[in-house]
């Protein structure tokens, strides 16, 4: 049996809190079963890697999911505190270390953290509480049923006597670990479901929050890396004479960076300050063999996609017999929708700090994937995982980009060769031009209608795009990843989703909501186009098509109510609706637009979300606001490819939505006792289609290409 | 060559750097004031905003030699205890998500209030449009500024 072992001394170091902390609890192994833990040294201490309590009743709770803005830093401890019965404003929150053996998978992607950890965290909190109660019952010689735990205290209900958790912790840690602790009923929650203020926020308003780029350690060197302007360009020649003369430059080294199976070359300038590295890089003369990679433009790529769209592709989903309806002379309509490549552009540019020597390695930085970096360093440098330490910091945004380990790999390579810790910092230009990117796509939707009965007989949605999981190699078969965000639950008897896989050398990766950021634009726009053909209200049409679904109808009705959907439109205004499920969360959105001085802009965006139990409603609202604004930026901006390279270099040509462009945003969360769904991407998938549908409502013009050309709408 | 003399948050520093280094990197890598952030390097995103003699300046492009003899204020100098009215409002409205751009947002807002404690909505927009946020915290920034202005006029 593998019992996780952690030394007590080491554990105390992690807390950063002085004083004697006694740990109680238990540890789930990877099967989820609770096991006591050997604390090492000469005594056995049962403990819990999430909960520390000291004799003065201080409570430290650990968050083990990296924080990139999504709020797990507060939400994970909220779940623990709920079942442990401690006051949420009195706890101290610390980030755990990265250790898959102790904490399981810590990667933060796909809005999975809360939905995956909810039950586990409840069990961790409840187990600890039951052990404290057992200790109190023993001390008072009364049954556990006569002990009530609340606010970090246990009350003897017979006498009214009170003991703190701190009084009991020493005894509690030797109590048996409960096999199946009793969990609270959702109706009794006092923390979960409350808009609890986040403890990370004050650190982010006075400059003390530490991000990867802020790491400063003894002997640190800095690197900036020159890369080919086309993606797979090879180094022809390097003249580094001038670069080496720059004060502070220590070395110029060729580097390699692997991205989804393809190796990209670079030339790194390593210096004793970042600025010297940048100056050295500017002084480099590198000529590149661009091969045939400089041929493509956004237009040629889309032309190729359009040619491919004539192929049948692979069936990803099918019901009924769509082939009996299409191309048979029935009333058929079709439409094509385009979306461009997008960049993640988290505000903190990509960076990583790594020290590698013969016996150990250490990483400091902003990552969505701490376990992945640990595994990489361990394998690549042949080190036991126990000799690889991962210090993950707050991230200045992630959006999927920081789930990759590429920058840590660059820093590790340079560190090993320089025999010093190295911090690699990408410029914003590196970030925008090198990618990987959100995929571009062509979606072709068609439907067969019975206009007499005003019904949709068949619908086919064909996705023509690169697939993240299948970027290299010869396989041409489209996978299910391609169909993300297509609502197959619409009650259309003959329904098919097809994928036509595209292979290109332009690297793509996970971007907030992934294919949900492209496919629903087509699907939910097309549903509106069908409503128009059948002369139905777009919201009523959806209600009719989704009436048997357990969640969507209520959301549509509520969003109609909140936005006064059925009232006549005021002059120069329009409304559009869309609905999508992402990571379990279901949401319906109405975008309201107006035309002022010839310009169309969104004025208000209302979303109704059902995401099961909502741990922190204020965080969910913040996430929805952020998703909407990221989605809106993607309605205004898209990456352009020319000569095989990304045209935009920085925020001057790829601006994010600005303060004054932000519409009013209103978010409503449905009360629910279902298990939690993912909250981090809700709202993004519906923005583009609801916006396009609203513009159609206002102007009668249908936008089928992202980013929107709003200037042509005047 | 005489050493550069910088006055940051009321303290005098003499970093051993060349004059062409942008103030941003001197603050971060030499003075350890990492609250000021690198975002774009071309004075477009505003993450690096600091106050120089009370005015908002993008520290990523200004050579450090041009800032000697002036009062530089970074986020660490706004109020480490979060007692500045803007910081209080930022916490009350739960503005930050990732938090990376928030030093810039706060310093820009502080510069605006230095200039005009009762700015119009257009003036607020003109100032705050200069600072980008990828997390999309603008609706909360708007609320926080509104509540700050309200608290200042009530005082």
| Ramachandran class of A282: left when φ > 0, alpha when ψ lies in -120 to 50, beta otherwise | alpha
DSSP string over B85-145: HHHHHHHHTT--SS-TTHHHHHHHHHHHHHH-SS--HHHHHHHHTTS--SS--HHHHHHHH
Chain B hits for A347, Cβ within 8 Å: 37, 39, 45, 47, 98, 100-101, 132-135
| Per-residue confidence (pLDDT) for residue A278, from 0 to 100 | 98
DSSP string over A10-39: HHHHHHT--S-EEE---EE-TTS-EE--B-
Distance between B10 CA and the closest CA of chain A, angstroms: 16
Which residues are paired to A437 by β-bridges? A508
Element (H, E) at A418: helix A406-418
The rounded distance, in Å, linking the Cα atoms of B63 and B49 is 14
The rounded distance, in Å, linking the Cα atoms of A436 and A433 is 9
List the CATH code of the domain at A8-187. 3.30.365.10
> What value does the mean pLDDT take over residues A398-414?
97
Closest chain B residue to the Cα of A605, Cα to Cα? B139
pLDDT tens figures, A307-338: 999 999 999 999 999 999 999 999 999 999 99
Share of chain A above pLDDT 70, in %: 93
**What is the CB-side half-sphere exposure of residue A333 using CA atoms within 13 A?**
15
Q: How many residues does chain B have?
A: 155
> What value does the mean pLDDT take over residues A263-276?
96
Using DSSP's 3-state secondary structure scheme, residue A162 falls into strand
The rounded distance, in Å, linking the Cα atoms of B145 and A212 is 29
Least confident of A256-270, A276-290, A365-379, A676-690: A256-270
The rounded distance, in Å, linking the Cα atoms of A465 and A481 is 11
Element (H, E) at A301: helix A298-308
Interface with A, mutate which of B29, B45, B134 (most A CBs under 10 A): B134
Q: Provide the token pair at A106.
A: 């810590």
At A469, is the pLDDT very low, low, confident or very high (cuts 50, 70, 90)?
Answer: very high
Q: How does the average pLDDT of chain A come out, rounded?
A: 92
| Per-residue confidence (pLDDT) for residue B2, from 0 to 100 | 64
**What is the CB-side half-sphere exposure of residue A455 using CA atoms within 13 A?**
8
| Per-residue confidence (pLDDT) for residue A47, from 0 to 100 | 41
Decide which of A123 and A253 is more confident.
A253
pLDDT of residue A614 exceeding 90: yes
CATH code matching the domain that covers A298-341+437-713, chosen among 3.40.50.720, 3.30.365.10, 3.40.50.2300, 3.90.1150.10: 3.30.365.10
Distance between B18 CA and the closest CA of chain A, angstroms: 9
pLDDT tens figures, A335-362: 999 999 999 999 999 999 999 999 999 9
Domains detected in chain B? 6-77 (3.10.20.30), 85-154 (1.10.150.120)
Chain A hits for B78, Cβ within 8 Å: 206-207
pLDDT tens figures, A503-531: 999 999 999 999 999 999 999 999 999 99
Distance between B4 CA and the closest CA of chain A, angstroms: 17
The rounded distance, in Å, linking the Cα atoms of A506 and A402 is 18
| Contact in structure between A443 and A464 (CB atoms under 8 Å) | yes
Residue of B22, B38, B96 with shortest CB distance to A201: B96
- Rounded to whole angstroms, what are the CA distances from B150 to A573, A672, B24, B79? 32, 37, 33, 20
| Per-residue confidence (pLDDT) for residue A673, from 0 to 100 | 95
Using DSSP's 3-state secondary structure scheme, residue B32 falls into coil
DSSP string over A244-260: HHSTTEEEEEEEEEEET
At A54, is the pLDDT very low, low, confident or very high (cuts 50, 70, 90)?
Answer: confident
| Contact in structure between A647 and A479 (CB atoms under 8 Å) | no
| Contact in structure between A598 and A710 (CB atoms under 8 Å) | no
Element (H, E) at A154: strand A153-156
| Contact in structure between A376 and A223 (CB atoms under 8 Å) | no
Complex-level ipTM: 0.98
DSSP conformation class of A482: G
For residue A471, which phi and psi values (nearest 5 degrees)? -95, -25
Parallel/antiparallel/unpaired status of strands A92-95 and A455-466: unpaired
The rounded distance, in Å, linking the Cα atoms of A547 and A538 is 14
| Per-residue confidence (pLDDT) for residue A25, from 0 to 100 | 44
Interface with A, mutate which of B8, B86, B139, B145 (most A CBs under 10 A): B139
Parallel/antiparallel/unpaired status of strands B6-8 and B11-13: antiparallel
Pick the closest to residue B132 from B27, B48, B62, B61 (CA basis).
B48
pLDDT of residue A74 exceeding 70: yes
pLDDT of residue A636 exceeding 70: yes
| Per-residue confidence (pLDDT) for residue B155, from 0 to 100 | 65
Q: What is the 3-state secondary structure (H, E, C) of A516-527?
A: HHCHHHHHHHHH
| Contact in structure between A585 and A682 (CB atoms under 8 Å) | yes
For chain A, helix, strand, coil in percent to 5 are 30, 25, 40
Using DSSP's 3-state secondary structure scheme, residue A581 falls into strand
- On whether the A212-292+351-425 domain is CATH 3.30.1330.10, my answer is no
Interface with B, mutate which of A620, A659, A665, A682 (most B CBs under 10 A): A659
A-B C-beta contacts closer than 8 Å: 184
pLDDT tens figures, A288-297: 999 888 889 9
Parallel/antiparallel/unpaired status of strands A494-502 and A455-466: parallel
Burial of A56 (0-12, 13-18, 19+ CB in 10 A): exposed
> What value does the mean pLDDT take over residues A40-55?
57
The rounded distance, in Å, linking the Cα atoms of A214 and A396 is 11
Q: Under an 8 A CB cutoff, do B91 and A205 touch? A: yes
| Per-residue confidence (pLDDT) for residue A179, from 0 to 100 | 79
> What's this model's pTM, rounded to 2 decimal places?
0.94
Distance between A309 CA and the closest CA of chain B, angstroms: 34
Chain B hits for A72, Cβ within 8 Å: none
Q: Provide the token pair at B35.
A: 């609250």
Decide which of A53 and A211 is more confident.
A211
pLDDT tens figures, A8-34: 333 333 333 333 344 444 444 433 444
Q: Where are the beta strands (DSSP E) in A597-625?
A: 599-610
| Per-residue confidence (pLDDT) for residue A32, from 0 to 100 | 41
Q: Return the domain boundaries, chain A.
A: 8-187, 212-292+351-425, 298-341+437-713
Q: Under an 8 A CB cutoff, do B98 and A657 touch? A: no
Neighbouring residues of A622: CB distance < 8 A, sequence distance ≥ 6: A71, B94, B97, B137, B140
Interface with A, mutate which of B89, B138, B142 (most A CBs under 10 A): B138
List chain B residues with pLDDT less than 50.
Answer: none
| Per-residue confidence (pLDDT) for residue A473, from 0 to 100 | 87
Distance between B48 CA and the closest CA of chain A, angstroms: 11
pLDDT tens figures, A160-201: 999 999 899 889 988 888 878 999 999 999 999 999 999 999
Q: Provide the token pair at A531.
A: 């409503």
Chain A hits for B145, Cβ within 8 Å: none
End-to-end CA distance of chain A: 70
| Contact in structure between A466 and A546 (CB atoms under 8 Å) | no
Pick the closest to residue B40 from A160, A428, A658, A542 (CA basis).
A428
Q: Under an 8 A CB cutoff, do B42 and A275 touch? A: no
Note if the bond before A707 is cis, omega within 30 degrees. Answer: yes
Q: Residue B143's Cα: distance from chain center in Å?
A: 19
Where b means 16+ CB within 10 Å and e means fewer, A663-689 reads bebbbbbbebeeebbbbbbbbbbbbbb
Parallel/antiparallel/unpaired status of strands A422-425 and A351-356: antiparallel
Note if the bond before A436 is cis, omega within 30 degrees. Answer: yes
> What value does the mean pLDDT take over residues A227-247?
95
| Contact in structure between B39 and A289 (CB atoms under 8 Å) | no
At A102, is the pLDDT very low, low, confident or very high (cuts 50, 70, 90)?
Answer: confident
- Rounded to whole angstroms, what are the CA distances from B146 to B51, B104, B108? 21, 18, 15
Q: Under an 8 A CB cutoff, do A198 and B94 touch? A: yes
């Amino acid at each position: 049996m593998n019992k996780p072992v952690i030394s007590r001394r080491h554990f105390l170091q992690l807390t950063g809190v002085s004083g004697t902390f006694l740990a109680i609890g238990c540890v789930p192994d990877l099967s989820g079963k609770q096991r006591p833990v050997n604390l090492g040294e000469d005594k056995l201490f049962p403990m819990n890697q999430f909960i520390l309590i000291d004799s003065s009743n201080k409570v430290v709770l650990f968050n083990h999911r990296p924080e990139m803005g999504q709020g797990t830093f507060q939400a994970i401890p909220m779940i623990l505190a709920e079942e442990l019965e401690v006051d949420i404003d009195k706890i101290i929150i610390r980030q755990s270390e990265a250790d898959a053996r102790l904490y399981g998978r810590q990667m933060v992607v796909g809005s999975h953290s809360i939905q995956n950890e909810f039950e586990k965290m409840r069990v961790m909190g409840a187990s600890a509480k039951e052990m404290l109660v057992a200790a109190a019952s023993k001390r008072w010689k009364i049954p556990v049923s006569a002990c009530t735990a609340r606010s970090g205290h246990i009350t003897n209900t017979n006498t009214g006597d009170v003991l703190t958790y701190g009084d009991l912790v020493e005894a509690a840690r030797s109590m048996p670990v409960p096999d199946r602790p009793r969990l609270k009923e959702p109706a009794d929650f006092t923390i979960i479901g409350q808009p609890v203020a986040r403890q990370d926020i004050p650190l982010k308003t006075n400059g003390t929050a530490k991000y990867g780029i802020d790491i400063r350690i003894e002997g640190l060197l800095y690197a900036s890396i020159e890369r080919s302007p086309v993606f797979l360009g090879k180094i022809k020649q390097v003249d580094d004479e001038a670069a080496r003369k720059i004060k502070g430059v220590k070395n110029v080294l060729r580097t390699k960076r692997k991205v989804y199976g393809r190796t990209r070359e670079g030339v790194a300038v390593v210096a004793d300050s970042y600025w010297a590295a940048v100056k050295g890089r500017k002084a480099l003369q590198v000529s590149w063999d661009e091969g045939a990679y400089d041929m493509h433009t956004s237009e040629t790529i889309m032309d190729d996609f359009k040619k491919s769209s004539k192929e049948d592709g692979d069936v990803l989903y099918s019901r009924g017999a769509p082939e009996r309806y299409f191309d048979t002379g029935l009333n058929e309509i079709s439409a094509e929708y385009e979306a461009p490549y997008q960049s993640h552009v988290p505000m903190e540019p990509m960076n990583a700090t790594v020290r590698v020597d013969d016996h150990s390695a250490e990483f400091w930085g902003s990552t969505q994937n701490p376990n992945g970096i640990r595994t990489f360093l361990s394998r690549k440098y042949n080190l036991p995982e126990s000799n690889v330490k991962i210090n993950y910091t707050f991230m200045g945004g992630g959006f999927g980009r920081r789930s990759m380990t590429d920058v840590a790999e660059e820093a590790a390579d340079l560190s090993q060769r320089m025999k010093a810790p190295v911090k690699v910092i990408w410029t914003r230009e590196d970030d925008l031009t090198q990618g990987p990117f959100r995929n571009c796509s062509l979606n072709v939707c068609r439907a067969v209608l019975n206009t007499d009965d005003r019904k949709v007989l068949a619908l086919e949605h064909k996705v023509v795009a690169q697939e993240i999981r299948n970027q290299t190699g010869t396989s041409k078969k489209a996978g299910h990843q391609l169909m993300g965000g297509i609502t197959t639950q619409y009650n259309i008897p003959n329904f098919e989703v097809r994928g036509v896989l595209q292979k290109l050398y332009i690297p793509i990766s996970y971007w907030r909501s992934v294919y949900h950021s492209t496919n629903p634009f087509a699907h939910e726009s097309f549903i509106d186009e069908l409503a128009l053909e059948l002369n139905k209200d777009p919201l009523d049409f959806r209600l009719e098509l989704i009436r048997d679904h357990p969640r969507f109808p209520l959301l549509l009705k509520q969003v109609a109510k909140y936005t006064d959907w059925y009232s006549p439109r005021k002059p120069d205004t329009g409304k559009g609706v869309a609905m999508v499920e992402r990571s379990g969360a279901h949401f319906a959105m109405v975008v309201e637009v107006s035309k002022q001085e010839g310009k169309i802009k969104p004025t208000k965006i209302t979303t109704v979300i059902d995401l099961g139990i909502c741990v922190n409603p204020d965080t969910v609202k913040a996430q929805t606001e952020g998703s909407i604004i990221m989605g809106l930026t993607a309605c205004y901006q898209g990456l352009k490819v020319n000569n095989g390279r990304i045209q935009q270099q920085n925020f001057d040509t790829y601006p994010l939505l600005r303060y004054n462009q932000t519409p009013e945003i209103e978010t409503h969360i449905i009360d629910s006792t279902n298990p939690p769904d993912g909250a981090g991407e809700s709202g993004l998938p519906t923005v583009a289609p609801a916006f396009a549908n609203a513009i159609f409502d206002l102007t009668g013009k249908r936008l089928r290409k992202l980013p929107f050309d709003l200037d042509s709408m005047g | 060559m005489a050493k550069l003399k910088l006055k940051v948050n009321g303290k005098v520093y003499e970093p051993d750097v060349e004059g062409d280094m942008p103030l941003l990197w001197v603050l971060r890598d030499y003075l350890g004031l990492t609250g000021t952030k690198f975002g774009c390097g071309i004075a477009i995103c505003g993450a690096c905003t600091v106050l120089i003699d009370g005015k908002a300046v993008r520290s990523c492009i200004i050579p450090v030699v041009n800032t000697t003899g002036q009062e530089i204020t970074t986020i660490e100098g706004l109020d480490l205890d979060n007692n500045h009215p803007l910081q209080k409002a930022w916490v009350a409205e739960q503005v930050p998500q990732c938090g990376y751009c928030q030093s810039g947002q706060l310093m820009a807002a502080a510069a605006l209030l230095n200039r005009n404690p009762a700015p119009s909505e257009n003036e607020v927009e003109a100032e705050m449009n200069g600072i980008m946020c990828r997390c999309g915290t603008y609706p909360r920034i708007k609320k926080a500024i509104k509540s700050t202005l309200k608290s200042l006029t009530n005082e």
